[in-house]
Chains A and B, each alone.
Chain A
Amino acid sequence: METRSPYNRGLEIDNNVCIGCSHCIKVCPTEALRVRGGKAVIHADWCVDCGECFRVCPTRAIRVIDDDFKRVGEYKHRVLLIPAMFYAQFEESIPRHTIDAIIGELGFHEVCVVEQSVDRLVDEINRYVETAEDKPVISTYCPAVTRLIQVRFPALVNHVMLLMPPVEITAQYYRRKYAAAGVADEDLGIFYLTPCIAKITSVKSPLGGYGSPVTGVINMDFFYNKVYLAYRQRMAVSGKVAVSDALSAKGMLWPTTGGESTNVRGKVLAIDGVRNVIDFLEQLENGEITDVDFLELRTCDESCAGGILSLRNRFLVADSMRRMARELPETHALMDEYRTCGSEGVCMEKVEPRSMVKYDKNIDEALRKMERARMLKGMLPNIDCGACGAPSCEALAEDVVRDGADINSCLFLRTAWELQGQLSMNDANTIMEQIWGKEHFKTENE
């Protein structure tokens, strides 16, 4: 059972692999997951692509939907945009140029670093923050944060900074560069090596009617294996790939925690980790925080160094990035070329709220349902054990009034009914099987 969503999302659950262990339902920041029939089911409208479920899944049943590596060959000219943290995935003895040369052998004609464009973006961000009416301005660098705000904090959408993330600006630059060299647009494939699911969705279904110049995405974990295998097997490299490795220290540090905020004037904060981000947004929404100019928020602990498709230990990745940044210049050679593109290429359209419909669109009906859910919650043990397949007693009560879930999914209620003789053991077992699947209840003799 999959709920269709108008929002393209990056994750899917493979029912053949999912064992319905329920680890994922507990970590979802929007409570978008349930266990039904022994499998995890995702409420797509509520998913913000943070990837917390992907992180905890013990069987790798939660998968990234998109990977366009097999489409690379369809284009005559192939460019790969590489996020700075990709270079930090490898042990420090493997230099960047070696990695670039291997990538050239994997089918790309040109490679360039995504964060090339941040030197250009910094000017725009500072201008934006200076003139913004709704402060603090919240960065759009982490797309999971933007979607978290749309879904869980709709009152804060006006704080969202309407400037493109670096990958879009960099991709636009290469579109222009190849067009200027006479390459037909359809012959150019610009692929983005992505460290996370949220960035896939932001490229595949960008906010507000914008068509991304990125042709496709390639998952970083998958591509890491290819590159590292080639390195270990000492693949011969021709060195023919064009390398556009212009990158400043700023660009290298951008994906790390504090990488953006340290470049923004005024009172700025950098917060990483989805729970920390939510805590802060709650307080901001309450109006308790008033004197901050700019917020750099990232849902992953250690920001993109801890991106869900990042393989190496996040602290080591962040450390490698800081080390590499020390060797890099303040600014880079392509800066002037990036500056020639106008602000319009950097601006993003308005971000609309995507509020969760918890009960009903009609407020009177919603009130009736909420009242019922409150009454039901009073009957539940409120220990949030998850044995009903919902992440909390409150979530089960909501599911009962919204989707007609069975209140007897609660193990505690069932036991009480059984003790009172109102429910047979067989009926209780049937309910258990509906939630967790029959597999778990088979004995060795069966």
Chain B
Amino acid sequence: MRFEYKVEGGDFTQAGNAASAIKKTLKQLGVDPVVIKRVVVALYEAEVNIVAHAWRGVIYADIEGSGIKLRLEDEGPGIPDIGKAMTRGFSTASEGVREMGFGAGMGLPNISENADEFHIDTVVGEGTTLNIGIRF
């Protein structure tokens, strides 16, 4: 089953809506709460990343009996140094974003720790695509 959510850069009031909706679906399907938590944490972080860094993005979620595949495509500045971005504590978030409590720099490592599969493709100046897989 496929779900699609649009994400607007800079609109923190809507950040987390996709994660909430996916959570509701997984709960209705009776997925193990521990797995749901991992999905929600990973998706929430990734969703907030689009809001905080990109101009806009689309989240695709494919749910099957075996697990969930999330694809987050954004149009944005891209990530110049993925190695750095994967380091805990490193943040490129602007001061305005940090003042809102986001951008502590835990995003990507946290996503990868909660995922069974994690791929990141980025083109500087164009955007980033994140593929996350979590098995049920």
Interface residue ranges, A against B (CB under 8 Å): 154-155, 157, 282, 285-288, 353, 355, 357-361, 363-364, 366-367, 370-371, 374
Bound-complex Cα distance A87 to B70 (A): 56
Task: Return chain B residues, CB-CB under 8 Å to A361.
Answer: 30
Let me know if B37 and A282 touch, CB within 8 A. no
Let me know if B65 and A367 touch, CB within 8 A. yes
Given A288-B16, A367-B65, A370-B1, A357 and B30 contact (CB-CB distance below 8 Å): yes
Shortest Cβ distance from B35 into chain A, in angstroms?
A: 9
Stretch at the interface among B20-28, B76-84, B86-94, B117-125: B20-28
Q: Which of B1-60 contact A (CB under 8 A)?
A: 1, 16, 19-20, 23, 25, 27-31, 33-34, 36-37, 40-41, 44
Would you call the interface of chain A mostly helix, strand, loop, or mixed?
helix
Task: Return chain B residues, CB-CB under 8 Å to A370.
Answer: 1, 25, 28-29
Chain B minimum-CB-distance residue to A363: B65
Bound-complex Cα distance A157 to B37 (A): 12
The one of B30, B33, B40, B63 that contacts A286, using a Cβ cutoff of 8 Å: B40
Bound-complex Cα distance A363 to B27 (A): 11
Shortest Cβ distance from B65 into chain A, in angstroms?
A: 4
Shortest Cβ distance from B52 into chain A, in angstroms?
A: 15
Let me know if B30 and A358 touch, CB within 8 A. yes
The one of B16, B31, B37 that contacts A363, using a Cβ cutoff of 8 Å: B31
Let me know if B1 and A286 touch, CB within 8 A. no
The one of A285, A287, A355, A371 that contacts B30, using a Cβ cutoff of 8 Å: A355
Q: Given A358-B27, A367-B63, 14 more contacts at CB 8 Å?
A: A154-B33, A155-B36, A157-B33, A282-B20, A285-B23, A286-B19, A287-B40, A353-B33, A355-B33, A359-B29, A363-B29, A366-B28, A367-B29, A370-B25
Shortest Cβ distance from B17 into chain A, in angstroms?
A: 10
Given A155-B37, A367-B1, A370-B1, A286 and B29 contact (CB-CB distance below 8 Å): no
Task: Return chain A residues, CB-CB under 8 Å to B64.
Answer: 367
